[in-house]
Amino acid sequence: MVDSELMTREVLYVGSATSVENCISLMTEKRVRYLPVMEKRHLVGVVTQGDVVKQLIADQKFENVELERYIHEEC
């Protein structure tokens, strides 16, 4: 049985349309590593800090590639 003193009563969660930036902001502000993803009162997934960091890195790499492509086209 879970000790009621250990559990979180007000669980933070996000919707599937929540941006990566909003997820990482919420995780940082509230000091949590996991966010349940809810749709119409149903759990549809879980976002982890690792998931968010991976996506931010992928987005940055894509942006870098596009910037390099743009710079080389201009030369």
Q: Domains of the chain: which residue ranges?
A: 20-74
Burial degree of 49 (CB within 10 A; 0-12, 13-18, 19+): middle
Burial degree of 39 (CB within 10 A; 0-12, 13-18, 19+): exposed
Give the count of beta carbons closer than 10 Å to the beta carbon of residue 28.
Answer: 11
In tens digits, the chain (75 residues) has pLDDT values of 777 787 788 889 999 999 999 999 999 999 999 999 999 999 999 999 999 999 999 999 988 888 888 888 876
Closest CA to 33 of 53, 56, 5, 19: 53
CATH classification (class only), 20-74: alpha beta
